[in-house]
């Protein structure tokens, strides 16, 4: 029987170590690799092609949700389980929109992680009872939709720029990370501010925090 392979993506080494220990208690489960930021997670996933990625929702360079989108675009058969410290309607909406099939609260990982991984390995979803009830009631269909007007939705590249600006990187640093020109970075920054109606970098940082792009 082929082992079930995992990639663990979290920016805290102690968390990665704890998750690895927990997963490897299960027979025929192996942790094929680890990543400490979102870009590394995408690179490792494309290289290792794991069955399941355990993805922290807030990581440097590229947040877990956008990393998930990139991974699933190239590896649609890979399952992604999101780790987060928060349980809210907004988080549910963002997790589902990313293509991930479930999430586990970090505080409950010791209790729920194995069951969640088993569910996703069998192509089933895993959510808390609260979220499951919302799904069953059709609440997500009515409320957890993209509330932003079409003209104000950010592109994948714009979300990447938002995160890097909010993390304090200069246009020159962003151009290096994304392999685009400084002029293109500045154009993205200008478009983002106009789309979101923001007047300062401080406003952009607050937007990034509210939308789980960076941690507060």
**Residue with the larger pLDDT of the pair 89 and 118:** 118
10 pLDDT more than 90: yes
Per-residue confidence band for 150, with pLDDT thresholds at 50, 70 and 90: very low
Task: Pick the most confident of 25-29, 137-141, 199-203.
Answer: 25-29
What is the tens place of the pLDDT at every residue in 25-63?
Answer: 999 999 999 999 999 999 999 999 999 999 999 888 899
149 pLDDT more than 50: no
102, 62: one domain: yes
Q: Cβ(53)–Cβ(78) under 8 Å?
A: yes
Separation in Å, CA 40 to CA 8, 34, 97, 106: 11, 9, 21, 21
Long-range CB contacts (< 8 A, 24+ apart) of 190-193?
A: 191/158, 192/154, 192/158, 192/161, 192/162
Contacts of 36 (CB under 8 A, 6+ apart): 9, 10, 11, 13, 16, 59
Assigned domain for 215 exists? no
Evaluate the CA torsion angle 130, 131, 133, 137 in order and state its sign. Answer: positive
Separation in Å, CA 31 to CA 7, 12, 18, 20, 143: 6, 16, 12, 6, 37
Strand runs labelled E in the chain:
4-9, 29-35, 52-56, 79-84, 102-105
Residue 192 CB burial class (10 angstroms; 0-12, 13-18, ≥19): buried
Assigned domain for 216 exists? no
127 pLDDT more than 50: yes
33, 121: one domain: yes
Considering its fold, how many domains does the chain have in total?
A: 2
Domain CATH for 64? 3.40.50.2300
DSSP 105: E
pTM of the model as a whole: 0.77
Of 142, 162, 186, which closes a domain?
Answer: 142
Domain housing 89: 4-142
Separation in Å, CA 126 to CA 92, 140, 156, 157: 12, 15, 26, 29
154, 136: one domain: no
Assigned domain for 107 exists? yes
Domain CATH for 165? 1.10.10.10
147 pLDDT more than 60: no
107, 186: one domain: no
Give the dihedral of Cα atoms 177, 178, 179, 181; nearest 10 deg. -110
The b-or-e profile of 93-115 (16+ CB within 10 A means b, else e) is bbbbebbbbbbbebeebeebbee
Mean pLDDT of 184-189: 92
132, 156: one domain: no
């Amino acid at each position: 029987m082929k082992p079930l392979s995992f990639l663990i993506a979290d920016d805290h080494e102690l968390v990665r170590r704890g998750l690895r220990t927990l997963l490897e208690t299960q027979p025929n489960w192996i942790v094929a690799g680890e990543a400490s930021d979102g870009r590394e997670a995408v690179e490792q996933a494309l290289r290792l092609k794991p069955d399941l990625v355990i993805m922290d929702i807030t990581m440097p360079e590229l947040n877990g949700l956008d990393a998930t989108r990139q991974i699933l675009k190239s590896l649609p058969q890979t399952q992604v389980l999101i780790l987060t410290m928060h349980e809210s309607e907004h988080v549910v909406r963002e997790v589902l929109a990313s293509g991930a099939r479930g999430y586990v609260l970090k505080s409950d990982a010791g209790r729920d992680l194995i069951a969640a991984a088993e569910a996703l390995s069998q192509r089933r979803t895993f959510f808390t009872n609260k979220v499951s009830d919302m799904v069953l009631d059709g609440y997500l269909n009515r409320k957890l939709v993209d509330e932003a007007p079409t003209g104000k939705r950010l592109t994948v590249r714009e979300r990447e720029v938002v995160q890097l600006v909010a993390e304090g990187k200069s246009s020159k640093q962003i151009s290096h990370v994304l392999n685009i020109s400084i002029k293109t970075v500045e154009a993205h920054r200008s478009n983002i501010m106009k789309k979101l109606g923001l007047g300062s970098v401080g406003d952009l940082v607050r937007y990034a925090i509210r939308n789980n792009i960076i941690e507060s």
